[in-house]
Amino acid sequence: EKAFQMSHVQLSVDLYLFSRHYTDVATLNDLAKYTGGHTNRFPAYYDPKDGEDYYRLLTHALTREQAWESVIRVRVGKGYKVTDFFGNFRLRSTDLLTVPCIDSDKTFALQLDVGEKGVTTPSLTIQSALLYTTSYGERRIRVHTICAPVTSFTTHIYHSISSSALTLLLMKQAIALVTSSSFDKAREHIRQSVISLLRSYSYTANSYSHSQTLELPENLSTLPLQCLGLLKHEAFRDRNVLSDQRATVHALMYPLGMAMAEVSVRPRLMPIHKLDGKSMPEEMELSAAVVESTSALLLDDGRHFIIRIGNQVDQNWVQNVFEGSETKAVQLREYKENCHTDLERVYQVLDSMRTPFHKGITVVREGDSDELRFFQGLIQDRTLGEQSLAEFMQFILRR
């Protein structure tokens, strides 16, 4: 009720939570969810550890380009209907969304269905209109119209699917299911949606090879891994995740756009011990098979940077980039002018990947107890309760 009152008078709420105790984030997040805001949490806030991240996030929220008093209307062509919307907004009518403050960090998804009479036109038309006030007081409208052809060949549909967009939609649907139904139904929705799609494609395209492997088109090749990434993500993992922490992740991911959601469910892994300063290092497979004692690897999951240092990495490079000892936690050296080239190149990589939503840099040595956190991001491997990528592909074939 309070959120609806705030939305009525064009107020958006961004929440910043700092308590070390249980906060009931799931309930508090409704203030941000129904007013088009964000929820951010720094549990047991400690300024030397969290201060820079909080400063960067708050600065971004206060200085990013904003639109005010916004409403969004979506219309679809004859024979189709919108059945659901996903994102942080208040639904005022069947096709009108109220978002008091809107910016480029917010994304909205919708789900369409075919009307009772079926498909009667050769194309599907979708139009969205955003009515807003600029920071200069000008009232403007921005209209986007898409016209997609209708086909009777199912193979055309499969080859036009964006796996990243589909993953984003599944993520938002699953988060909504956790709230409205149950945690198990959300996980089952992710799993069955992807399995049904890939099985249907394999039968339609006759893509079983003699080696009994599922051959997917390029646009769908990453979908199984993205599905596993969702199932293994702490947003949907059913073990060792506190309720406040899971609710915080849901609040962060629900309004996410496609690029950030992609990194959240399919992290980036890359070597940083041999940077040339001219180009980004190539991404590696998310498997422990590529992790060696002679390498220093950076894992980015969209919210945290984790650097793992192997025991056989060149010690001169380690001394140039990190500080610490056997009894003191290792951490990245502070960036200063005229710092060593190795450190400068590492910061170049981090800065090119960093978003306002990243929180801190964790450094672990090979064999440390914290190393488990690094390996949890290697989603191609088997984890407790979840299959590896190879096992998941074989599971689809057996079904």
Closest of 295, 296, 275, 292 to residue 351, by C-alpha: 275
Q: Please report, for residues 73, 156, 286, the alpha-carbon distance to residue 79 in angstroms, rounded to integers and kept in the order given.
A: 18, 20, 43
d(CA 68, CA 86): 20
Q: What is the pLDDT of residue 296?
A: 96
Q: What is the pLDDT of residue 326?
A: 63
Q: What is the pLDDT of residue 327?
A: 53
> Among the residues of the chain, which ranges form H helices?
2-8, 25-33, 47-63, 154-159, 163-180, 183-205, 223-232, 243-253, 258-265, 315-321, 341-353, 371-375, 389-398
Q: What is the pLDDT of residue 237?
A: 81
Mapping DSSP to helix (H, G, I), strand (E, B) and coil, where does residue 322 land?
strand
Q: Which residues are CB-neighbours of 264 under 8 A, at least 6 positions away?
A: 229, 233, 253, 256, 301, 302, 303
Closest of 288, 297, 292, 294 to residue 270, by C-alpha: 297
* Strand 296-300 with 305-309, pairing: antiparallel
Q: Which residues are CB-neighbours of 329 under 8 A, at least 6 positions away?
A: 363
Q: What is the pLDDT of residue 103?
A: 93
CA 372 to chain centre: 21
Q: What is the pLDDT of residue 399?
A: 61
Q: What is the pLDDT of residue 119?
A: 82
User: What is the sign, positive or negative, of the torsion defined by CA atoms of 246, 362, 51, 105?
Assistant: negative
Q: What is the pLDDT of residue 328?
A: 64
Closest of 275, 287, 252, 243 to residue 349, by C-alpha: 275
Give the CB-side neighbour count of residue 328, counting CA atoms within 13 A: 6
Query: Which residues of the chain carry a pLDDT beneath 70?
Result: 206-212, 325-328, 399
Is residue 11 within 8 A of residue 104, CB to CB? The reply is no
d(CA 267, CA 223): 14
Q: Tens of pLDDT along 337-348?
A: 888 899 999 999
d(CA 173, CA 261): 13
Plot region of 236 (φ>0 → left; ψ -120 to 50 → alpha; else → beta) = alpha
Amino acid, single-letter form, for residue 93: S
Is residue 198 within 8 A of residue 207, CB to CB? The reply is no
Q: Please report, for residues 248, 253, 283, 359, the alpha-carbon distance to residue 61 in angstroms, rounded to integers and kept in the order given.
A: 18, 17, 30, 15
Q: What is the pLDDT of residue 17?
A: 96
d(CA 366, CA 391): 27
Q: What is the pLDDT of residue 284?
A: 96
d(CA 228, CA 379): 7
